[in-house]
Amino acid sequence: MDALILAGGENKRIPVIKGFLEINSRKIIEANIESLLGIFKKVIVSTNSPELFFYLGLPMVGDVIDYRSPMTGIFSALSVPDVSEVFVTACDMPYINVILIKYMIEKWSDDWDAAIPVFEGKLQPLFGIYAKKITKKMEENIRNNRRGLREFLQEINVLYISEQNVRNLDPEGRSFVNINTMEDFHREGGKICLV
């Protein structure tokens, strides 16, 4: 299993690349890479602007279908020949919980198409595991304008990590915090790092 960081968003609500925002004096993406490399042998960055991420020294994958969405990023990574499954997170999630990730990996088996935690009654598809065997169905959905991950999960065999089990390891659900707006960013006490 490899890790995938989705860094291909269009940043419409924040004037800089969200992964380069600093929380606790570190760029979010760099802190996440360090955490993920403690678990996975390979961390892949999903981006359509590879020049911005070369300095990280990681493998990168661009969208293989010309439509930007998290589903397209996941599909593109799973289309790489030597990738069998990926743990997915986004570059704007500053508090990913390593213990929760390891728990999900322990529960994972080839029987599943995906493993997704539940928090506050909602699925958390940007903190999940996805298997290569869903690529055909995923491609069909993307090409037919059905790009919502939560809807897609209803079509496949998903291991749901119960809210109780999530809260045992991440009581406040910090793993699922993402920085979508400048208000989110300031609330988390961050600062902008220009590159």
- pLDDT, tens digit (0-9, with 9 covering 90-100), for 118-136: 999 999 999 999 999 999 9
What is the DSSP annotation of 139-173? HHHHHTT---HHHHHTTS-EEEE-HHHHHHHSTT-
CA angle (94 as vertex; 92, 98 as ends), nearest 5: 125
- pLDDT value at residue 195: 43
**Whole-Å CA distances, 152 to 127, 141, 157:** 15, 8, 10
Answer whether residue 12 is part of any domain: yes
CA distance readout (Å), 184 to 83, 94, 181:
33, 11, 5
CATH number at residue 15: 3.90.550.10
Residue 15 is predicted with a pLDDT of 58
**Quick check: is 192 in a domain?**
no
100 occurs within a structural domain = yes
List the domain range (segments joined by +) for residue 141.
2-187
Residue 190, pLDDT score: 54
Q: Which residues of the chain carry a pLDDT beneath 50?
A: 192-195
Residue 170, pLDDT score: 96
- Is residue 195 included in any domain, yes or no? no
- Asked whether residue 194 is domain-assigned, the answer is no
Name the domain count of the chain: 1
pLDDT number for residue 26: 86
pTM (2 decimals)?
Answer: 0.91
Give Cα separations from 92 to 66, 128, 152, 185, 192 (angstroms): 22, 15, 22, 10, 13
- Structural domain contains residue 114: yes
Contact (CB, 8 A) for 60 and 46: yes
